[in-house]
Structure 1
């Protein structure tokens, strides 16, 4: 028998706020997390893009100094959001061997790696920190969360570019179904606002270059969109079976109803222009949820604000839902919080959880002139979803042709 998997805790540190509630409040208010980068390196390297969406609350304001020195920023954000989620879930006192961690990143400890390289070149090998490798490895965030909460069932790391943390949630759903753990902390993190990534993404024409108006730069579905805006931060969901949650009297936000993971096998950076792999991932998530396309009441789209990517996703959704897709409220929240790369799926899943719980689709900002080739229903103010049961999907797609979709259902008892 399929188990019902529920969300009992949430945590986040994002460009919109230092906690999940603060992030949600800012999102509904139509705020943007974008700012010009006030660093010497922003001008030193003649970067074509000099803005991003950095986390609103710096880790040093939350963590102990020893923690910031021993963890890459990506792991710092993971630890902050996981602690919030765990506390929000009531810090359940259960057998530690039944607590799992399914955490993801797209790139990992970039700052640690490149700072160590600078140290080696400028000061020699003896000055390279002995913790460099444990700090830069992609599984560092998962390990940090596991050790902090004494989670001993497993600590897994999903690395699938920008689909990573949606895939982590889909995998956590499967692992709870299979009985590998009673509770799993699933999420993702990224901290790559660095000159090398800004330069690289700019070279491939992926980033917006609206240096003169950063808050207007991320423009999903707008005719004048010119690329995504890099963000940073982390988000975490605490997942468990409904039976386990009820037995301990936990509050329940929503249900993770299913997930789908596919591959385009098309191009290392470009999506399949017809969205075929993405469409299969949506169908797979709905099949696992025991739902049909007619049950879906809301979509949180990947919608990075790139000219090609937004259209490919629209074609995928059209292939799945037909003309009905034009009636479903679609939120493209990267307009507000930017693209957190490997952490973005977890953040958007968290947002979708709150959307179905509150029955409110969050607004898409900066949509001034909607692209006529993408005639979706995209509310630019908070939109009521109605009083009945809700079923939403949240999409994530990454370089390498990775597609991951999670279906999220309102909890009806």
Structure 2
């Protein structure tokens, strides 16, 4: 059972919840993930995007059904605990906190790489400190800032699409839709592209801070995901039409390279600025989600109980936010962004696997169990299609969490 404690203030409506989800998904992933995905899939990039979208849709649907039943902070940590047992909830929470902490570091480093490449780590740490302070001031301030960031990012992405499709260099023949990277390459690319989608659950983890959560969360999650899918599809088509799969796979800054090849070099600084803003938006929402899951786990004594404190004035889990900010700042000062992204993808897919398994146990309605089965299978397939190093590190970190659970002797621990 969840330990009693102060509840968070419900202030977010459907629009604010959708904005939080968009801020999580329309982050640096679309600026960075297209190139490695194209490198893995070749002409199979668009099919890989479709695979990632299907898995994301299944996960979103399962998360929405569960969030309507359990409108509390913690997301799948709560769902797994209530539907599958304490251990599975803990494993989901562990996967989320560890994987998304790595995501925070990756996003912070992306900010640094675009703002000041020579001092990327220092800028990353400064970004973490600044956004932790914003979150500390209350959820409404965070939602307002996220709204501004989403507007800027959408404007930049729209300019990229218009520049690419409107240039004389745009050629549908460059799309090269096929499977030149093989099935394995398409699946690996889908796993990498999933990193750019994984953000809709941020809405569910804020379940204790939205008004009428049984109605708001199930509406906000598919809305945010649908908008993101439409934007990503347009951007991928536009960039492929200019660079082609080979050129895109070799690009270091794919969207900036695309507008340069399209004959609009003056747009390159705008795209770089947009990438930095997008990463800031993603980092802001990530810190929100990780701190709320940490709050829920602390309430159940799976993390130090001090992290369950809610600020009496700002009504936020201030100690959890400070702790998450401190850990992310240390990682941002020391780790490599590529390793952080690979490990984060594995942890997030493990988290959603538990969400789908939890949704499968809900009262059956016609065809309702097909979605969580597809989602669970998709998560497992994409997770183990990631680069070998990411899989090994991911399995190792999950194993550490299981060992800690067993050693502590928590209820439901495997014997």
Query: What TM-score, normalized by structure 1, do the two folds share?
Result: 0.28
1 or 2 for the larger relative contact order (CA 8 Å, sep ≥6)? 2
**Structure having the larger proportion of residues in strand:** 1
Structure 2 length normalisation: TM-score? Answer: 0.28
